[in-house]
Structure 1
């Protein structure tokens, strides 16, 4: 019988400025700092634990979709700001985020990623390398980049959208950090150039979208390009001391797929962990929000 690694179910442990209050009927009720939001959530196919009256009483802002991808924020009070700050702190580091109401229902942070942030900070601090080099691909507004930098890593942040890299830089300043290397580029192109340069990294983080475009119109489709990406990125890992995290939020992907991708690209992998990230609602339900694979030397 072929043995496989055990599959973990992990949820953040240290959030004080974030809370999933309830989820269901394709929505989620969340607290970010002092503000409570209602947003669409395609994974929440079950009934809500709290009734509609309680949801309406608790929330400050609700997202109402105009199309499959865009919509508007409806505020109970017009004085509520479009931007605000929250803090994340684990036993190793503390970082801050500027949140904002975007037309795509996002606010600039994916709270379940705190599980991966904790892994990054503890791993970077455990390395013997004085200033480990960490590469964050598809890096968005920089949560993983901030964590790596705060833990002492020489950090490179790559995303194809200039506006979100600017946002990540705001988060760096807000967190009292400096010297993250910002790169606006297609992630796969950047990796291939780093291979030609002969560069190595002690840590690589990948959180690719299901679909996306590079700054010059390069097309990214997860199932079409992830194998090529994985085969390339493992060649960038420092052989002596390294870690890698692959995180995906795609309804068609399972942790077994992620395990197969990592083992195919890096057959000598050790300490491989795979599983699913979820947020635990105060009202009781578990909201699944992606699968991961990670390993360290």
Structure 2
């Protein structure tokens, strides 16, 4: 299996900018608003002064001492509960995504994933299959689902949290689309059932967390379960026309681990690419934000 090892960052996004990074924080522009948030991988110094960060920030996420993933937003400027961000690429993909500040520092969007939205769009436009079936697992607020639907795919979107599935519906509707199949379920349970049913998909998108819970308390631990999940995905993927995207955010994982996982579970993998996703700030510092492995057969 030949592989390309890449580092990928979004190139075409007028509504988003990573302004500065450092001091375990990042300063980002989302449409009209500038937010500062914790970033554990930004271990270097900030390029701008603390006073510049404070003057630019419309809101700052302050972590709880005992739980770095939870905290409160401090607003320096009135920000609406929800606002929208537009995304479009040179190939004609257009989406409107809804953002909101949550108590877990997230705002409903991972900007580095834009490179995978472009990949989904490019792949589906090259398929000769009419209405290809795409499964998005651990789908969060569904930007990848919306991208696939915008390109004519029959999309199944699965997440274990009902609230983020509702958020995904808003993203679909704001983008002028309809018809995505919504499922609130445990991802492993669902794909086991799909294998038993004999169902197949032309595209599978996997964006699993390091740790998580299903809707009935099912435990997900990435390093313990991702191998079995990929075994099942190998049975679900159409052999003739397909793509698969695997994202992983565990700090202990490299893209070589993703490569080994895929090699051991998929018999034939063509046009394989793996590496790091990153964003670049104004001062040319590169912020790594996870690893990926993807392949396709058109």
TM band (smaller chain):
over 0.9
4+ residue segments displaced more than 6 Å: none
The answer to whether the 8 Å contact 2:133/2:203 transfers is yes
> In the alignment, which of 12, 15, 36 is matched to residue 14 of structure 1?
12
Q: Which residue of 2 aligns with 1:32?
A: 30
The answer to whether the 8 Å contact 1:22/1:284 transfers is no
Q: Residues of 2 paired with 1:207 and 1:92: CA distance?
A: 24
**Structure 2, unaligned runs of 5 or more:** none
Q: Which residue of 2 aligns with 1:144?
A: 144
Q: Residues of 2 paired with 1:107 and 1:48: CA distance?
A: 22
Q: Residues of 2 paired with 1:215 and 1:95: CA distance?
A: 28
The answer to whether the 8 Å contact 1:27/1:44 transfers is yes
The answer to whether the 8 Å contact 1:84/1:100 transfers is yes
Describe the superposition over 1:29-63 as per-residue Cα deviations: whole angstroms up to 9, x where unpaired.
Answer: 00000100000000101111111121111110000
TM-score by length of 1: 0.97
* Aligned pairs for 1:1-297 within 5 A: 5-66=3-64, 67-77=67-77, 79-90=78-89, 91-297=91-297
Q: Residues of 2 paired with 1:220 and 1:189: CA distance?
A: 11
- 1:267 is displaced (CA, Å) by 2.9
Describe the superposition over 1:231-277 as per-residue Cα deviations: whole angstroms up to 9, x where unpaired.
Answer: 00111011110000001111011010000011111132111110100
Q: Residues of 2 paired with 1:31 and 1:154: CA distance?
A: 33
- 1:13 is displaced (CA, Å) by 1.3
SS in 2 for 1:21: strand
The answer to whether the 8 Å contact 1:93/1:150 transfers is yes
- Alignment: residue pair count: 294
- 1:284 is displaced (CA, Å) by 1.9
The answer to whether the 8 Å contact 1:61/1:76 transfers is yes
SS in 1 for 2:182: strand
Q: Residues of 1 paired with 2:117 and 2:76: CA distance?
A: 33
- 1:73 is displaced (CA, Å) by 0.5
Q: Residues of 1 paired with 2:116 and 2:37: CA distance?
A: 23
**Structure 1, unaligned runs of 5 or more:** none
Q: Residues of 1 paired with 2:52 and 2:38: CA distance?
A: 17
- 1:15 is displaced (CA, Å) by 1.1
Q: Residues of 2 paired with 1:119 and 1:53: CA distance?
A: 39
TM-score by length of 2: 0.97
- Give the stretch that moved more between structures: 164-173 or 266-275: 266-275
> Considering only aligned residues, what root-mean-square deviation do their CA atoms show, in Å?
1.0
